[in-house]
Amino acid sequence: MIQLIHVSKSYDRRVALFDVTMEIKKGEFVLLMGPSGAGKSTLLRMLIGEERPDEGQIFVQGKNVSRLKQSEVPYLRRKIGTVFQDFRLLGKKSVFENVALPLIVQRSSEADIRRKVMDALRAVGVDHKKDQSPNSLSTGEQQRVCIARAIVNGPVVLLADEPTGNLDPERTAELIELFKLINARGTTVVVATHDPHVMKLVNRRVMTLMQGVLMPEQRGGDRVDA
């Protein structure tokens, strides 16, 4: 599903990623661990074509993302749901309108939008807030709206960049459960986090980046498992 082959990336003289090679199979749930500045966000941005590697190649669903034309990038992003750390929700639009955006840009039909948005909102448990502004919701609810937007068009991959950064341990556990649920439906999930607490919640493959270098693989979870 996702393959990185000897990928390197630098900004000026600072190395963000160095010779990273990894593979994530279809339907996997992978944790990408590492402290701030380790290169996790750079790696996720490369997967959605926001950044290009200086060296190496990146494949998503067999497509070489590092050689994708600019005009093809939007179509790649439609296959990948992204959950942002800062949520990136539009306060002037309702929860429903925010979640509908990925379907609107794909020119989905009105009926499809209504059905899929409500399904996504129900899946994350905020369907009763559909007419409210995201600004009136709690942090946890905003995070769920962001996830609903990421899964609304049934992506093959879900990327989450520090999704638990603003949540307390209880909400973090709920969120990880939600990701497991999404993963159980067949979506490949990659969660980037610096929070060691998250690692304990997931009994799956853990890849760790340290100063842009990929460390030997670990396995998470000592308490909860899906």
Partner 1 sequence: MRWLWYLFRAAWANLRTNRTTTVVAIVTTAFTLACVGIFLLSYVNLRNAAAWLQEDIKIIVYLDDRMSGEETRELEGKLKADRMVTGVRYISKEQALGEFRAQFPSDSHLLEGLGENPLPASFIVTPATGYQSPDAVNRWAERARTMAGVAKVDYNQEWIDALAGLIRYIELTAIGVGMILSAAAVTIIGNTIRLALFARREEIEILRLIGATRAFIRIPYFLEGAVLGACGSALALGILKLGFELFRQQISSAGRFQGIENMVSFFPLSICVAFVAVGMGLGVAGSVVSLRRFGEGRG
Kindly tell me which residue out of 3, 82, 187, 193 binds partner 1, with binding defined by CB under 8 A: 82
For the segment 49-68, give every residue that binds partner 1 (CB under 8 A). Answer: 49-50, 68
> Following CA atoms 6, 32, 148, 75 in sequence, which dihedral angle do they give, to the nearest 10 degrees?
0
Note whether 106 binds partner 1 by CB under 8 A: yes
Query: Shortest gap between Cβ of 75 and partner 1 (angstroms)?
Result: 7
Q: Which is nearer to partner 1, 99 or 201 (CB)?
A: 99
Question: Are 34 and 207 spatial neighbours (Cβ–Cβ below 8 Å)?
Answer: no
Check residue 101 for interaction with partner 1 (CB under 8 A): yes
H helix count then E strand count, the chain = 7, 11
| Given 35, 64, 105, 115, the residue binding partner 1 (CB under 8 A) | 105
By CB under 8 A, residue 121 contacts partner 1: no
- Show the binding pattern over residues 144-173: x = contacts partner 1 (CB under 8 A), - = does not: -----x------------------------
Q: At closest approach, how far in Å is the CB of 103 from partner 1?
A: 8
Taking CB under 8 A as the binding criterion, the range among 101-109, 170-178, 200-208, 212-220 that sits at the site for partner 1 is 101-109
Cα separation of 22 and 2, whole Å?
Answer: 8
Q: 3-state class of 180 per DSSP? A: helix
**Token pair for 163:** 């999704």
Which span (27-35, 43-51, 123-131, 215-223) binds partner 1, by CB under 8 A? 43-51
Residue 114 vs 205, nearer CB to partner 1: 114
Torsion angle defined by CA atoms of residues 157, 161, 167 and 171, in that order, rounded to the nearest 10 degrees: 20
Taking CB under 8 A as the criterion, the residue among 63, 77, 171, 200 binding partner 1 is: 77
113 binds partner 1, rule: CB under 8 A = yes
Sole residue written with tokens 């990408």:
32
40 burial via Cβ count (<10 Å: 0-12, 13-18, 19+): buried
Judged by beta carbon, residue 159 or residue 207, the one nearer partner 1 is: 159
The Cβ of residue 33 has, within 10 Å, a number of other Cβ atoms equal to 23
C-alpha distances in Å from residue 96, one per residue of 101, 112, 130, 184: 9, 13, 5, 25
The residues of the shown chain that bind partner 1, judged by CB under 8 A, are 48-50, 68, 70-71, 73-78, 82, 84, 88, 90, 100-102, 104-108, 110, 113, 149
